[in-house]
Amino acid sequence: MQNSAQPLDVNDRLLASLNPQQHEAVVTLDNALLVLSGAGTGKTKVLTTKIAYIIENGYAFPSQILAVTFSNRAAREMKERLLRLASGVGDVWLGTFHSICARILRSHSDLVGISGNFTIIDVDDQSKVVGQILKEINLDKKIANGVVSKISRWKDKGITSDDARVDASSLEGRIYKIYQERIASYDSVDFGDLLLYVAQIFRKHPEVLQKYRQKFRFILVDEYQDTNMSQYIWLRMLSPLGVGLCCVGDDDQAIYSWRGAEVGNILRFEKDFQNTRVIRLEKNYRSVGNILEAASSLIANNENRLGKTIWTDGEKGDKVLIRKAYNGFEEAKIVVARIDDLCRNGVPYGEMAVLVRAGFQTREFEERFLADGIPYRIIGGLKFYDRQEIKDIIAYLRLIYQPNDSLAFERIINVPRRGIGASAVAGFHAHARRNNVSLFQAAKEIAANGLLRPVLRSSLQDFVHLLESLRQSDVGPADLAKIILDKTGYLKQLTSEQTIEAQTRVENIRELLRALEDFDSLGEFIEHASLVVDANGSSPQDLVTIMTLHSAKGAEFEAVFLVGWEEGVFPHNLSLSEGNIEEERRLAYVGVTRAKKYALITYAVNRRIYNQWQTNLPSRFLAELSSRHTGSPLHPVKTPIKE
């Protein structure tokens, strides 16, 4: 029997299908390596092959490799592909920045004064906390979202609330401080904190940092162009010299400046680390010539770029189609007609995607698809874990897991209705503040000795007893949820409603219960729910995908429908007023380059936004696509439009 574990054989197998640049990127291990990887040039292949190469050749154990991505989807895909390439890859630290940081923070949370079972709060909760604070100082809650994003921007830059760069006399600066103390008292952290706390631990406890530096022999970073300052600081601490560091990115696909990403990080790479290698991947394996060149002509209008020319030696293929619609309704019909067309030509639904600029645009397509019987799925939009009933149940679980989680308490204290309204909750707040205890503790104390109306008092006591008994019990997360649904009457109330909406909610809850079965501990589940927002994983079914351009990054389809290319919609008004047209253009570039063979761009002359009809000009990006590669109105869809 031949021993296939011989290094040479292994490398033959791993490296055989790589082009020279990819090959070089995989085997370069000593330098700080930047791989500038254009759309569709095989960067995931490089990353996964590199990890397999390191493992199979014994340069490091799997557990000594850290691979960071931005989205859960990217992490999942990498994991799947890795499993096919090498064994033992389960021990690789592979995940999003946030999940990796959560993992590190769990082990060292005492060093920053929070408990090991801290909860991770989302933007919603952040707004609630800031809203509370605003109310306390008699200001309008309406500005809460603005303050939250200001605080988040500070965090993205690595600026903590006591940093000198925060103007402590400004409103936002003051709120930042209070906010930070408040959520710490809830044993909660927000997304930004995950990075900040870990950086803080690394800074103040060199021995901990040293441990991780030694541990991670190789660090691979996906989508480096979208790292923010805080992530950059974190990375530099782990790999100060860049030895064993490999960052992959494409400045033309930087689309997250709004959440603090700094393209500067990728542009500065060569200066940051000595002995840097930069490898460009420019050969595209995804799209046909016309699509690629149309995309290139578009992105060439950006001035701020490193500059890359992606090319293909494949066929020229179809041109990019551009169609004008009278309104959004007709636009959806055009897309459906084209879907039918392609379907007849053997393109499966699963290989088609409608890419929208903003979430609200999905509705029109959803309705049309339902009416015309086109099977579809929506990615993004209202996420599973964002649904009211799911958040309610999770809030119960959070409160069981972490009694200090006052946000969870407030969410469910009167859900389902148990007669404990706003004024009672205000009383809890006052008591909690006075005695420096959590809301739950305050409620418990008030139930025990407060002057409450008997009805209120007994329902409050029931609530407290239920939660305390559940905290003592040792049943699994799924059973815990079942008990809650039963004892609180939550499910009963829903089923008695007899509406379609309530019916879907019940189904969602069933789905949640099913998901809960996969977890042994409550903590594990809660972390999953806060970090992995998209519960709808890769579905094997044959469905047309509807999603935003942002979530499309990294995906690819035979056919892509780029809709709503109008001034104000795309480029979006808010981006225009921010003067961020180049980022919108990169978003368009990302969109076009998702298509392997077919791309259709549509725009509507009239569009109803909320209740008003407005007339928009065609997007400027349409004129920027080279006409040699587009089949604008001359090239209509052959199929008659369905009525």
Partner DNA sequence: TGCCTCTCAACTGAA
Partner DNA sequence: TTGAGAGGCA
Interface residues toward DNA, by CB under 7 A: 70-73, 96-99, 122-123, 131, 141-142, 145, 149, 152, 191-192, 257-259, 357-360, 380, 414, 417-424, 456, 531, 533-534, 548, 550-551, 572, 574-575, 578, 580, 583, 609-611
The nearest distance, CB 181 to DNA, in angstroms, is 20
Nearer of residues 169 and 577 to DNA, judged by Cβ: 577
| Minimum distance of DNA from residue 254's CB (angstroms) | 11
Residue closest to 50 by CA, chosen among 68, 20, 23, 87: 23
> 115 or 536: whose CB is closer to DNA?
536
Burial label for 313, CB within 10 Å (0-12, 13-18, 19+), is: exposed
* Residue 253 Cβ vs DNA, minimum distance, rounded to whole Å: 14
Q: Is 594 a catalytic residue?
A: yes
Residue 238's alpha-carbon distances to 89, 210, 219, 337, 504, in angstroms, are 21, 8, 9, 52, 46
Catalytically annotated residue among 50, 286, 585, 594? 594
Q: Any idea which residue has 């557990």 for tokens? A: 63
Buried-exposed string 400-432: b where 16+ CB fall within 10 A, e elsewhere: bbbbbbbbbbbbbbbbeebebeeebbebbbebb
Give the DSSP H/E element, type plus range, for residue 156: helix 144-156
Q: Name the residue nearer to DNA (CB basis): 479 or 534.
A: 534
Residue closer to DNA by CB (options 561, 598) is 561
Question: 69, 96, 225, 253: which one is catalytic?
Answer: 253
Q: Is 253 a catalytic residue?
A: yes
For residue 6, how many C-alpha atoms fall within 13 Å in the half-sphere facing its CB?
A: 7
Per DSSP, the three-state class of 529 is helix
Annotation says 222 is catalytic: yes
Catalytic residue among 44, 200, 276, 639: 44
CA 513 to chain CA mean position, Å? 23
Annotation says 510 is catalytic: no
User: Token pair of 564, please?
Assistant: 């709503």
**Nearest distance, CB of residue 260 and DNA, angstroms:** 8
Question: Is 187 part of the annotated catalytic residue set?
Answer: no
Q: What is the largest CA-CA distance in the chain?
A: 83
Active-site residue among 125, 193, 223, 527? 223
Name which of 430 and 574 has its Cβ closer to DNA: 574
For DNA, the closer of residues 215 and 259 by Cβ is: 259
Give catalytic status of residue 44 as yes or no: yes
Beta bridge partners of residue 218, listed in sequence order = 65
Provide the minimum distance between the beta carbon of 398 and DNA in the complex, in angstroms, as a whole number. 17
Determine the Cα–Cα distance for residues 544 and 359; give it in Å rounded to an integer.
16
Kindly write down the DSSP assignment for every residue of 505-527, as one continuous string: HHHHHHHHHHHHTT-SSHHHHHH
DSSP 96-132: EHHHHHHHHHHHHGGGGT--TT-EE--HHHHHHHHHH
For every residue of 251-312, DSSP letters joined together read GGG---GGGTB-THHHHTHHHHSSSEEEEEE-B-SSS-HHHHHHHHHHHTT-SS------B-
Give the active site residue among 22, 41, 43, 73.
43
Tokens 């148990």 belong to residue: 418
Q: What is the DSSP letter of 566?
A: B
Shortest Å, Cβ 123 to DNA: 5
Q: Which residues neighbour 193 within 8 Å (Cβ) at sequence distance 6 or greater?
A: 155, 183
Min dist CB 566 to DNA, Å, is 14
Tokens of 29: 């291990």
Query: Which residue number, 22 or 257, has a Cβ lying nearer to DNA?
Result: 257
Query: Least distance in Å: CB of 119 to DNA?
Result: 14
Instruction: Pick between residue 396 and residue 570 the one whose CB is nearest to DNA.
Output: 570
Nearer to DNA, 418 or 596 (CB): 418
The distance of closest approach from Cβ of residue 530 to DNA in the complex, given in angstroms and rounded to an integer, is: 8
Catalytically active residues, by annotation: 43-44, 222-223, 253, 594
